[in-house]
Structure 1
Amino acid sequence: MSRYRHGLVLGKFYPPHAGHHHLVATAADRCERLTVLVCAASVESVPLADRVAWMREVHPGVRVVGTVDDIPMDVNDPAVWDAHMAVFRAAVPGPVDAVFTSEAYGAELGRRFGADAVCVDPGRSLFPVSGTAVRADPVGCWDFLRAPVRAALTKRVVVLGAESTGTTTMARALTGHYRRRGGVWAGTRCVPEYGREFSERKLARLRAGRPGADWSEVVFSSDEFPVIARRQAEAEDAAARTGAPVLICDTDAFATTVWHERYLGTSHAGVGEIAARGRQHLWLLTDHEGVGFEDDGLRDGEHLRPWMTGRFAAELARTGRRTVRLTGAHERRLATAVAAVDELIGEGWDFADPLPDLSERT
């Protein structure tokens, strides 16, 4: 088996999947040096920079570069080939000894690079998946996607609300509902509320000095809230990389903006900036009406619940976040939540069509 000095893999990687990764790994094993060229068209909805970053993460020992290629493909037209080769050569100007593909055009691509053409699993028997299939049905192709792509595609659902309104109970119940569906949904994850962990530690530190201290003596400072928001966002992103196509979040950085207002009386620009970078899709607001207040040692705001529910509702509306309000008994709330999440999932993923392949003209 030949070993090459410089190999090349090119493709749209829209988005990258297990077949792409197998191709790259195979090429890397046979080359001293490998370049992966990500070719994105302007009409496509996944940014070139994201695809390059995803490929670099999965293949850290490989040189990954990107270019914009807005030329429709037509393997039967030499002029179209010339135009594509000008794009490829500008992005990869040095000599290429081998091109690795799973496509029928691989032989011509190799000839034009003056390189060997190496075909890898052309029948896709090892990984029966394609970019077209992923765009059409991400859920059905979920097992073929690696962590960074999963994180980008996961539908993120946030449960939020005032103190003692059943947010954690709802987040866990919703997670359990989707896990019981089995298959790819069995991996549905729930992101816990980092703010609670943070609060427990604050109270524990206070009690270490004064064992009789209670929650009413805990004081928050403004600079603690960006820490809480960042840690919440980091936990959410980490969970999205390894779970199912839906992720349930027991609060988020956006909710932290209202909690800052609850404790400090004002908004916090830094927390708002963190919230603005979020990639959530749906917010489920647990209403305070009909839910008894339970003091679990970290709560003292029963009288503030109507105000907080109102603030959450107002800020969700002001910022244009997709929101469903959960009311009534737990069973009714869960049914409402499931219906909202199912609707979100049913809408699918909005991938723009790639440029047409003119080779397919009759």
Structure 2
Amino acid sequence: MSLFRHALVIGKFYPPHAGHHFLIRSAADAAECVTVVVMAADAETMSLDDRVRWIREVWQGEAHVRVVGTVDNIPIDYEDPDIWDGHVALMREALRPGETVDAVFSSEDYGHELARRFDAAPVVLDVDRATFPVSGTKVRADPAAYWADLEPAVRAWLVRRVVVLGAESTGTTTLSRDLARAMRARGGVHALTGWVAEYGRELTAAKLAVARGKAAMAGAELPTVDQLEWDGRDFALVRKRQAEAEERAARAGGPVLVCDTDLLATAVWEERYCGGTTVETWAAAEAQVPRALYVLTSHEGVAFEDDGLRDGEHLREWMTGRFREVLIASGQRWIEVRGDREERVAAVLREIG
């Protein structure tokens, strides 16, 4: 039987972690309904919408838990009654009209005063962080140290994404795999380091197999890869599949994610195969989560190997130059690597730290 009718949980949830979910879970188990109010300032690096979405994802299966957000740019001063009034007014605005609270769940010393202002029971848990020794400040300072305390959606936001891109047969896949392997060798949470494959290559193999199957049925000559036709629908599919694969890996992996291409690279490949890049492709590339590092594999000193899915060596110099232009214009951090496999991996690891 529920002890309370309506419990209130408030916080910045910057970001939400295991300690926050312990608080919400305690309220959910003790009350008929729970309102979680996420209070975020405009100056903070994680958006209010993201924080609300992250918490809702965890509690979506419990209908009696409601998560709402409010912008709170009022300073913190527990000694100032006017500032207290301002914060509490925002909390009340987040409640439904006429809704009252009979319990306030908190893990902070201010929980007693907050409960008094709602004329509610103060339920103060784990103030000394003995049960869950984690805080939002600690997570922001060193996410890897508290990776186990974070839900998949928060991990996906915090993960450092390293993207390897380059022209055909310049070692992008080899380098990305080597990097993921090197990160896993560090152990701990880094043993979870994910690797995202290039969907465009998968689609190329599938398109070629389909084209050859149709040709065989018609008794025609089997086509080669350079005879495949590409259009905007193909690249819309590449964008969709590539983004989905990256998100899955970001949620499941460790603090670093290694990607063998991404949507920025897809924009360049669309330009190559379709003669131009659509507005939708550029928009998708610009909307990606910021990358920790882009790594461009130089074609110089790398022998061209035709595996049956490549256009030809003559395109590599142009592609490398075009990737440089796009990376410079992106404003994101990037390096270009040369040398053998060990030298390339070492160069990237120095940048990652």
Q: Does TM, scored on the shorter chain, surpass 0.5? A: yes
| TM-score, length basis structure 1 | 0.90
Q: Distance in 2 between matches of 1:6 and 1:84?
A: 19
1:32-181 aligned at under 5 Å gives the runs 32-60=32-60, 61=62, 62-92=65-95, 93=97, 94-181=99-186
Task: Give the stretch that moved more between structures: 67-76 or 231-240.
Answer: 67-76
Q: Which residue is 2:219 aligned to?
A: none
Counterpart of 1:226 (choices 223, 236, 240) is: 236
| Structure 1, 74-83 or 14-23: larger mean CA deviation | 74-83
Tell me, in whole angstroms, the C-alpha distance in 2 between the residues paired with 1:183 and 1:27.
33
Shift of 1:216: 2.8
Contact 1:290 1:329 in 2 (8 A): no
Give per-residue Cα distances to partners, 1:153-181, cap 9 Å, x unaligned.
Answer: 11111100111110000000000000000
How far, CA to CA, are the matches of 1:64 and 1:145 in structure 2?
Answer: 18
Secondary structure, counterpart of 1:83 in structure 2 = helix
Preserved CA contact (<8 Å) 1:230 1:274 = no
Q: Look up the match of 1:265.
A: 275
Report the Cα offset of residue 3 of structure 1. 1.9
Q: Deviations over 1:234-292 (max 9, x none)?
A: 21122111211111000011111111121122222221111111112311000111111
Aligned to 1:30: 30
Residue 232 of structure 1 aligns to which amino acid in structure 2?
Q
Distance, in Å, in 2 between the alignment partners of 1:143 and 1:171 is 25
Q: Separation in 2 of the partners of 1:337 and 1:122? A: 42
The partner residue of 2:348 within 321, 324, 337 is: 337
In structure 1, give the amino acid aligned to 2:227. E
SS at match of 1:210: helix
* Offset, 1:41: 2.1
RMSD, matched Cα: 1.6
Distance (Å, rounded) in 2 between the aligned partners of 1:226 and 1:135: 35
Whole-Å separation in 2 of the counterparts to 1:270 and 1:86: 42
Q: Does 1:239 align with 2:242?
A: no
Between the two proteins, what is the percent identity of the paired residues?
Answer: 54
1:37 CA displacement:
0.5
User: Which residue does 1:358 correspond to in 2?
Assistant: none
Q: Any conservation in 2 of the 1:8–1:34 contact (CA below 8 Å)?
A: yes
Q: Deviations over 1:36-88 (max 9, x none)?
A: 00111233222211111111111113211111222333333433322322222
| Residue in 2 that maps onto 1:12 | 12
If the length of structure 2 is used for normalisation, what is the TM-score? 0.92
Aligned pairs, number: 342
Structure 2: distance between partners of 1:46 and 1:149: 10
**69-78 vs 38-47, which moves further:** 69-78
The structural deviation recorded for 1:2 is: 5.2
Q: Given that residues 2 and 29 in structure 2 are in contact (C-alpha distance below 8 angstroms), is that contact kept between their aligned partners in structure 1?
A: no
1:262 is paired with a residue of what secondary structure? Answer: helix
1:283 is paired with a residue whose SS is strand
